[in-house]
């Protein structure tokens, strides 16, 4: 665990699909008495389409643009938020730059991690993850996740202030770990 060197303003959760970003974000926001925003849900609300339809009808590039617009908008909010992001948000260079720039304003970026087996298990029943839906069978979905890990882990690593492996940790313990960093940063 790394202590954030300055008072924490927004908290952004990053990491691959099935690492627990939305679940952890919701509980963390409640504990901190802050608003919680899930960028996937916010984009679905704004576009009035679910992610699967956005990918199918507008394409991935359009979705990535919506992610960068949404992240820019959220990080410019004055009141501190807990934000969970889609696993591919750092595909956009704009988002990578934005997270780096906002560090000076007290942004805390938390990278949630999980093993491929855990991610497969947690995403098994999901209908709304087009990158996994394209792959038929467990082996193919495993390959997709492995190749996303190889591609994205360097971006997650560069952006993260702290990394938490969520395989065996309870939600409450993960939340307490993040809260402890936030509390240390405030002193
Ligand atoms: C994506 C992850 C999804 C969602 C979209 C694309 C990705 O979010 O944004 O399906 O590229 O990894 P979750 O990480 O919340 O599943």
Which tokens belong to 125?
């029943």
Q: Tell me how long the chain is.
A: 187
Domain count, the chain: 1
Q: 138-159 and 93-102 helices cross at what angle (nearest 10)?
A: 40
23 contacts 81 by C-beta, under 8 angstroms = no
Percent of the chain with pLDDT over 90: 88
* Ligand 1 near 15 CB (within 6 A): no
In a domain, 102, yes or no: yes
Give the span between the Cα atoms of 156 and 152, in whole angstroms.
6
Atom of ligand 1 nearest to the CA of 19: 14
In a domain, 172, yes or no: yes
CATH of the domain at 167: 3.40.50.300
* Ligand 1 near 17 CB (within 6 A): yes
pLDDT digits (tens, 9 = 90+) for 142-151: 999 999 999 9
In a domain, 187, yes or no: no
pLDDT digits (tens, 9 = 90+) for 73-127: 999 999 999 999 999 999 999 999 999 999 999 999 999 999 999 999 999 988 7
166 contacts 113 by C-beta, under 8 angstroms = yes
**Ligand 1, from 86, 119, 125, 153: best to mutate by most atoms within 8 Å of Cβ?**
86
Instruction: Look up the domain containing 74 and give its range.
Output: 11-179
111 contacts 12 by C-beta, under 8 angstroms = no
pLDDT digits (tens, 9 = 90+) for 110-123: 999 999 999 999 99
In a domain, 115, yes or no: yes
């Amino acid at each position: 665990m790394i202590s954030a060197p300055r008072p924490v303003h927004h908290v952004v959760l990053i990491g691959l699909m099935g690492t627990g970003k939305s679940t952890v974000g919701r509980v963390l926001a409640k504990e901190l008495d802050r608003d919680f925003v899930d960028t996937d849900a916010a984009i679905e609300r704004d576009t009035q389409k679910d992610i699967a339809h956005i990918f199918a009808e507008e394409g991935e590039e359009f979705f990535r643009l919506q992610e960068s617009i949404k992240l820019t908008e959220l990080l410019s909010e004055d009141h501190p938020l807990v934000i969970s992001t889609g696993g591919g948000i750092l595909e956009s260079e704009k988002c990578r730059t934005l997270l780096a720039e906002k560090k000076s304003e007290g942004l805390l970026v938390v990278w949630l991690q999980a093993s491929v087996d855990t991610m497969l298990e947690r995403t098994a029943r999901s209908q709304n993850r087009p990158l996994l839906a394209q792959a038929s069978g467990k082996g193919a979905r495993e390959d997709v996740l492995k190749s996303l890990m190889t591609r994205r882990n360097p971006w997650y690593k560069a952006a993260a202030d702290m990394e938490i492996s969520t395989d065996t940790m309870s939600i409450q313990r993960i939340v307490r770990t993040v809260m402890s960093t936030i509390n240390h940063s405030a002193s």
